[in-house]
Chain A
Amino acid sequence: MDLIAAHGNAVELLFIYIREAHPTDGWYMGTHRIRDPLSLEERRSVARKFEESLRGRAGVYVDGMDDAAMKAYAAWPDRLYLVGTDGRIRYAGKRGPSGFKPDELREAIKKETVGRETIERLDVPRATRASPPPGRVTRRQGKARGETRGGRSGRAL
């Protein structure tokens, strides 16, 4: 999924496996021949196949047999959301398949993470430039003392 490559480090990606959309024992549309799992273990088994296809790039989590998460988010058959660090919804996609729009989500992620990057860029250099921690020696100080990289100052720099 392009989304993982583009934003895998900026956001947490949770794929949530829910009730099948078009299983052979339901509203079957002739695509994948999978029945709707009848137990949590069966759901996990199908979810593991999906997880393998992601090659460890994101975690797949499994909704309970009470479909609590699916119902709370009206997420059947598929749906995308972005949750901000304050725990509020930043992007609420429409229900799939017509409302499943990764491009919209991507734009929402950009807006959400640009602010975070700005904060980090402002904060981190400020903290490191202020003064080195006690016992550490800056490269300039090390040169003035005649120390070289690889020695004591090499680790400290």
Chain B
Amino acid sequence: MGGTIRSKEEAVAWHGRYGPRAPKEGDPAPDFRLRDASGSRAVRLSDFRGRRPVVLAFGSYT
């Protein structure tokens, strides 16, 4: 299941599949390595361990 979500039904199905995987309070945060909008700088979530709390704000333009 991937690609653009095209309807409410597809959204419900997506959450049925991935919703249960969402980490809960107390769980280890899944690590990731992402690049910034310019593509030049990478960040790894685990790099902040022992240093600062991290806010993750997921979203899009629409």
Contact = CB atoms under 8 A, between A and B. Distances in A.
A73 B2 contact: no
Contact of B53 (A10, A23, A79): A10
Contacts of B49: 85-87
Most buried by B among A13, A19, A34: A19
Contacts, number: 208
Interface in B1-58: 2, 4-8, 10-11, 14-15, 18-30, 32, 34-39, 41, 43, 45-46, 48-58
Given A72-B30, A73-B23, A59 B62 contact: no
Contacts of B29: 81, 83, 87-89
Contacts of B59: 15-18, 21, 77-79, 96
A67 B10 CA distance: 16
A71 B58 CA distance: 11
Contacts of B14: 76
Contact of A109 (B6, B39, B55): B55
B55 A11 contact: yes
Interface string A1-32: 00100010011111111111111011101011
B62 A20 contact: yes
A51 B60 contact: no
Interface SS, A side: mixed
Nearest to B9: A27
B59 to A, nearest CB: 4
Given A13-B57, A18-B60, A74-B15, 18 more contacts: A3-B55, A11-B53, A20-B62, A31-B62, A32-B61, A34-B61, A61-B34, A61-B43, A62-B36, A66-B2, A69-B34, A72-B32, A76-B18, A77-B59, A79-B56, A81-B58, A84-B53, A92-B25
Interface of A: 3, 7, 10-23, 25-27, 29, 31-32, 34, 36, 40-41, 44, 46-51, 59-64, 66-92, 95-96, 105, 109, 112-113, 116
